[in-house]
């Protein structure tokens, strides 16, 4: 099984901050990495696919990068609606998700 | 706009079978996506992919539940279903139906139902 880890597990940030979340796979997964945003009581929402592809309708302040085992989700300027939990997910093997990173208000 | 809606009992007794159905609207199951799937999330915890199926009926299972799970599709009703046997409290979760729209059955979950909470308790 491919294990996914994320860091940090939580972070506090202010509106306008640049935020970076890291995801690491236990083995190389090429670019088979997706990012999701989840708000309380709602299903996750796909943000980034294929490590760096921006899903239709997602604001351009979200970006993804990386390949192999190390990946990054960046929010260039945090907005009030971005406070949420973020999950990475690999689709190279049996699909699996990272444990999540909660972004809350400083 | 494709919409997914989960349905099924909210309470299941331990050792019994959990059965859920996802109804697809706004498009047909045979033309809107090649794959369809289920993901669950225990309260306050992370996400776990359970199973996917092609509209032709080929199933794919998470090894962690493979011995207990069955996924099926009914194209005539635009529905797909999940059955999980011998449930325990560890199966308590919000269950989401999803559409994998990427390279394979486990990629790019870009459409989600609202989710249904299933509690396993006597």
One pLDDT digit (tens) per residue for chain A, 106 residues: 999 999 999 999 999 999 999 999 999 999 999 999 999 999 999 999 999 999 999 999 999 999 999 999 999 999 999 999 999 999 999 999 999 999 998 8
Close Cβ partners of B103 (under 8 Å, ≥ 6 residues apart)? A32, A91
* pLDDT value at B22 more than 90: yes
CA distance B99 to B73: 13
Q: Which of A95, A99, A100, A102 to mutate to test the interface with B (most CBs of B within 10 A)?
A: A95
- Residue in chain A closest to B104 (alpha carbons) equals A91
CA distance B122 to B117: 16
* pLDDT (0 to 100) of residue B102: 87
Residue B103: pLDDT band with limits 50, 70, 90 = confident
* pLDDT (0 to 100) of residue B45: 98
- Considering only CB atoms, which chain B residues are within 8 Å of A95? 49, 62, 106-107
DSSP A80: G
Close Cβ partners of A41 (under 8 Å, ≥ 6 residues apart)? none
Complete DSSP assignment for A9-69: SEEEE-TT--EEEEEEESS--TT-EEEEEE-TTS--EEEEETTTEEPTT--TTEEEEEETT
For B29-64, write each residue's pLDDT tens digit: 988 889 999 999 999 999 999 999 999 999 999 999
Kindly state whether B109 is in contact with chain A, defined as any CB-CB distance less than 8 angstroms: yes
Closest partner residue to A46 among B48, B108, B115, by Cβ?
B108
Break chain B down into helix, strand, coil percent, rounded to 5: 5, 50, 45
Q: How many CA atoms lie within 13 A of B54 on its CB side?
A: 7
Q: How does strand B59-61 pair with strand B116-120?
A: unpaired
* pLDDT (0 to 100) of residue B31: 86
């Amino acid at each position: 099984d491919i294990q996914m880890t994320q860091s940090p597990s939580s972070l506090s940030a202010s509106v306008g901050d640049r935020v970076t979340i890291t995801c690491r796979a236990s083995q190389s997964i090429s670019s088979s990495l997706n990012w999701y945003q989840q708000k309380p009581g709602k299903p996750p929402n796909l943000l980034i696919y294929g490590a760096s592809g921006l899903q239709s309708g997602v604001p351009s302040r979200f970006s993804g990068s990386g390949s192999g085992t190390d990946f990054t989700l960046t929010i260039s300027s945090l907005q009030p609606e971005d406070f949420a939990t973020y999950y990475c997910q690999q689709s190279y093997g049996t699909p699996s998700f990272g444990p999540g990173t909660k972004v809350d208000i400083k | 706009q494709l919409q997914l809606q989960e349905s099924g009992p909210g309470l299941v007794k331990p050792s019994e079978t959990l059965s859920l159905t996802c109804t697809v609207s706004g498009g047909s199951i045979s033309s809107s996506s090649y794959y369809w799937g289920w993901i669950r999330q225990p309260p306050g915890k992370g996400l776990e992919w359970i199973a996917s199926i092609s509209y032709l009926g080929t199933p794919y299972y998470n090894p962690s539940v493979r011995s207990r799970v069955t996924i099926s599709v009914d194209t005539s009703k635009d529905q797909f279903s999940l059955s999980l046997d011998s449930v325990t409290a560890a199966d308590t979760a919000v269950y989401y139906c999803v559409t994998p729209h990427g390279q394979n059955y486990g990629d790019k979950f870009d459409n989600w139902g609202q989710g249904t909470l299933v509690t396993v308790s006597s």
